[in-house]
Structure 1
Amino acid sequence: MGALIWLVAALALAGAEALTGDLFLLMLSGGALSAAGASAVFGGPVWVDGVVFAAVSILLLVAVRPALRRRFAAGTGLPEPMKALEGKGALVLDRVGRHEGQVKLDGQVWTARPLNDDEVYEPGDHVTVVRIDGATAVVFRGI
């Protein structure tokens, strides 16, 4: 019976983790899952399950969680090739306005929009890329 309670606790903690995304509750869920395994295999008293839960949870919080957080944080931001396009010049191919436009940037055709919504650039104009917003180059008239 104790193993079932620990298993339900592990599932509840894992489900709650989906709402927070902090990886704290997931580590506690791992501890509860270990306690469920210990209870099922050894069938000892409840306090032994509690010790297993505490020990595994602390171990996961100290050893695994920081490594996972670093790994997830390392993937933020634009990929390096996209950052390299910022500040480059581009040639307007189709009229660039608030909701339309294309530029030739680094030999490729990109969807573009102006930095200021009220500006319009005509074909043949030279512009500078301010940033990449998804698959759209945000541009302004270069000096």
Structure 2
Amino acid sequence: MEKIKSIITELIVIVVAFSIVFLADLVDIQTKDSYLESTDVETMEIKLKQHERELYELGNNIIEIKNNMEVLKKNIYKSKNNKDKYNKMVIEYNREVRKYNKYMKIYNKKIDESFKENHKYESKSIIINWIEEVLGIDLVVV
């Protein structure tokens, strides 16, 4: 009975030792991959900032077009008596509406792209944070 207990104890110690070695190997593999991915994280941050700038510029363009549309709308109401001027204003207003719709489509597309990029960045960031917590080191090299 004593012999069986010692054999089981030795087997448990061996299994625990192999488990620790296996986990250390997995962490080592993750560390190598995450160091390579840290440059990816930097490029992702650059892409996110670029998307943010593009969205800001598109937003400003949309606001400007919307303001132009409001001015044109006021001028249309003022020029109802003069048919030629009224028709020109309506045509100009329709151009602005088309331009507004075009910019809104681009803006919505950029928001979707930005959301996808942000999601990729967050998923990579979660992996890196997990490895940093397990190892107790800072992997992101600036």
TM (norm. structure 2) is: 0.32
Higher RCO (C-alpha under 8 Å, 6+ residues apart): 2
Higher strand proportion (structure 1 or 2):
1
Higher helix proportion (structure 1 or 2):
2
Larger gyration radius, structure 1 or structure 2: 2
